[in-house]
Amino acid sequence: MNEEFSRLEQHLKTLRLSCFLSSYQRVANQSAKANHSYTEFLSVLAEQEVHKRVESAIAGRVRAAKFPQLKTLDTFDFAAQPALKKKQLIQLHQCHFLREKSNVIFIGPCGTGKTHLSIALGHEACAQGYRVYFSTAAGLINTLIEAKHEYRLQKKMKQLCRFDLIICDELGYIPFDREGTDFLFQLVAARYEQGSMIVTTNLPFSEWTNVFHDSATAAAVVDRLVHHSTILQIQGDSYRLAQKVASSKT
C-alpha cells in the first residue's frame, strides 16, 4: 500500500493536482465510512480541486490588479451617502457593464467613498474572471510617460488595452502637463467600445478642462467615456473626516 500511495503521490504531483494530493487520504477515509462508490469519491476530490483552482485564480487576478487595499460593497456605509442608489450599485456589482464594455464614473468630493466603490466593483470583476488594472490617474500617466521615454509606449498601450477593466482613480486631484493628458486621451480613445473603465473624480465634467488643458480634448474624453456609461454623483462631507471627528469625541 505504501508503494502504491507513493506512486499515486508522484502522479498527482506530476499532474499538479495539489488539492487531490492534500485531500486524498482524508476524503478516502470519509468515503470509506460513508460507503461511497469510486465515482462519488472521485467527484468529491475533483470538486475540491476545482474549487481550489478557482480560488487561486481569483487571488492571482486580485494581486495583478494592484488594488491599494481590498474593499467590498458589503463594507460600504450607504447610510453615510443616502443620495446613492444602493440598488444601482448592486446592479453594477453584477458586472453586466463589463460584458457591455461600458464605463462607470463616480463624481464627488474627496473622502466620500468613490475609491471604495471602484475597488469593490473591481474586486468583484476579478471574482467573475475579468482582468483588472487599478491605478491613480497620476500613476497611469506616469506609467505612459515612462514607457514613451523607454520607446515602448505603443507596447504599453496594447498591454493596457488587454485588461477588461481599467480603474482610473483620482482624476483631477493633481494637474498634469499636456503630454501626460494627451497619453491619457489616447488610452481612453483606444478603449472606446473595446473595454470598460471606472473613473473617479472630484470635478464635474464642465471643469475637466482643468485636467486636459483645452476644451477640445476635454470634450473628446468626456464624449467617449460618457457615451456608454453609468454616472454616479456622490455628495456630502468626507467620510474619513467624519470618522475622525466622531472618534475624537469618544
109: amino acid identity, one letter: P
- What's the mean pLDDT in 115-122? 98
Residue 175 lies in a domain: yes
CA torsion angle 128 129 130 135 (round to 10):
90
Which run of H or of E encompasses 200?
Answer: strand 196-201
Residue 52 lies in a domain: yes
Q: Do 148 and 223 belong to one domain?
A: yes
pLDDT band (50, 70, 90) for residue 242: low
Q: Do 21 and 130 belong to one domain?
A: no
pLDDT (tens digit per residue) in 90-105: 999 999 999 999 999 9
Q: Do 41 and 105 belong to one domain?
A: no
Which residue, 12, 28, 63, sits at the end of a domain? 63
117: amino acid identity, one letter: L
pLDDT at 245: 44
Residue 2 pLDDT exceeds 80: no
- C-alpha cell read off for 57: 485564480
Q: Do 216 and 241 belong to one domain?
A: yes
Residue 250 lies in a domain: no
pTM to 2 decimals? 0.85
Q: Do 172 and 85 belong to one domain?
A: yes
pLDDT (tens digit per residue) in 30-67: 776 777 787 877 788 788 888 888 999 999 999 999 99
> Which of helix, strand or coil describes residue 104?
strand
- C-alpha cell read off for 22: 492534500
Residue 203 lies in a domain: yes
What CA–CA distance (Å, rounded) separates 113 from 35? 53
In order of 41, 188, 224, the CA distances from 218 in angstroms are: 61, 11, 10
Residue 215 lies in a domain: yes
> How many structural domains comprise the chain?
2
Q: Do 105 and 180 belong to one domain?
A: yes
- Cell 499515486 -> residue: 8
Residue 68 lies in a domain: no
Which residue, 14, 43, 63, sits at the end of a domain? 63
Residue 198 pLDDT exceeds 60: yes
Q: Which domain holds residue 157?
A: 73-245
What CA–CA distance (Å, rounded) separates 24 from 5? 10
Q: In degrees, to the nearest 5, what angle opens at C-alpha 184 toward C-alphas 103 and 179?
A: 165
Q: Check: CB of residue 135 under 8 Å from CB of residue 168.
A: yes
Q: Do 93 and 58 belong to one domain?
A: no
- Comparing 133 with 212, the larger pLDDT belongs to 133
Q: Check: CB of residue 208 under 8 Å from CB of residue 218.
A: yes
pLDDT at 76: 94
Q: Do 58 and 77 belong to one domain?
A: no
Q: Do 59 and 79 belong to one domain?
A: no
> 97-116 burial, b for 16+ CB within 10 Å, e for fewer?
bbeebbbbbbbbeebbbbbb
CATH code at 241?
3.40.50.300
- What's the mean pLDDT in 214-243? 84
CA 220 to chain centre: 25
Residue 239 pLDDT exceeds 60: no
Q: Do 57 and 115 belong to one domain?
A: no
Residue 200 pLDDT exceeds 80: yes
Which residue, 63, 85, 113, sits at the end of a domain? 63
N- to C-terminal Cα distance for the chain? 65
User: Counting Cβ atoms within 10 Å, is residue 137 exposed (0-12), middle (13-18) or buried (19+)?
Assistant: buried
Q: Check: CB of residue 247 under 8 Å from CB of residue 121.
A: no
> Which of helix, strand or coil describes residue 223?
helix
Q: Do 98 and 58 belong to one domain?
A: no
Q: Do 119 and 13 belong to one domain?
A: no
- C-alpha cell read off for 84: 446613492
pLDDT (tens digit per residue) in 142-183: 999 999 999 999 999 999 999 999 999 999 988 889 999 999
